[in-house]
Amino acid sequence: MDDIAGIVQRALDEDIGSGDVTSKACVPGDRQAAGYFLAREPLVLAGTEVLKIIYPGNLVLLHQDGDQLSDGDRIATVRGNARRLLECERVALNFLQRLSGVATLARAFATAVEGTKCRVLDTRKTTPGLRLLEKSAAAAGGVTNHRMGLYDAILIKNNHIAAAGGVRPAMQNAKASGLPIEIEVRTLEELHEALASGATHLLLDNLSPTQAKEWIDLIAGRAKVELSGNINLKTVRAYAETGADFVSAGAITHSARAMDISFRLELL
């Protein structure tokens, strides 16, 4: 929560700076007002924790993260000093629109694989500085968070393999860490070498669904399998039906569009 508060404060400082000159010029300093956030299209809500930080003690949430909203649904109400409500409006909307976009896209991916054994993972392809919030939004949408950063799990990718001198030395060196290990393999030779080295979690990258199924059949349950590489809403179902345990999609965080949410102000 402290990390999120810091993110929000930096955003407020960036926008307000030395003060909202428009609100100060137009609105009496003692004027009180109320406002509400309104969904302008169907969406999955995320970002309510941000609203709690921006409007401490003055906020009434009408919905929670993960709720499916319709066009016209009110998200929250807030009241207080009119100038303060106005100067916080854009930052609050920026967070709500962005994070609800991530949650909405995440829900679409999760829905697309329903009925399979496959789970959708998010990735580290997040907006710099906003990973905690964006991954929270992805989870609210119904996908599973992959590792938060480079520090909480080992994922050996092709450049690590090159730097280590091959699949086998990369695996041998990584085992000493005691952390969970996943390794990316790009050829059948690397696949066999990884399994022979004791790999229990494989990442197969940039395969077609047909190729992925052939490789998964070859693995035959000896390791968990994640598929990645340009997986989108049109293709994710086909990948999920290959028998993979996971599919990961960077699009959930790097390509989600901002949802249409507005803020309406009324005088008390």
Catalytically active residues are: 90, 125, 157, 184, 205
- How far is 53 from 98, CA to CA, in rounded Å? 17
Contact, 38 vs 164, CB < 8 A? no
Q: How far apart are CA 175 and CA 59, in angstroms?
A: 49
Q: Is the Cβ–Cβ distance between 77 and 35 less than 8 Å?
A: yes
As a whole number of angstroms, the distance between CA 116 and CA 81 comes to: 51
If 0-12 CB within 10 Å is exposed, 13-18 middle and 19+ buried, where does residue 254 land? middle
Say if residues 49 and 64 touch (Cβ distance below 8 Å): no
Residue 77's φ and ψ, nearest 5 degrees, are -120, 155
Amino acid at 201: H
Cα separation, 91 vs 86, in Å, equals 10
The two structure tokens encoding residue 222 = 């000896």
Dist CA 39 CA 55 (whole Å): 19
Task: Identify the DSSP state of 265.
Answer: E
Q: What is the CA radius of gyration of the chain?
A: 23
Q: 199: buried, middle or exposed (CB in 10 Å: 19+, 13-18, 0-12)?
A: buried
| Token digits of residue 172 | 């041998």
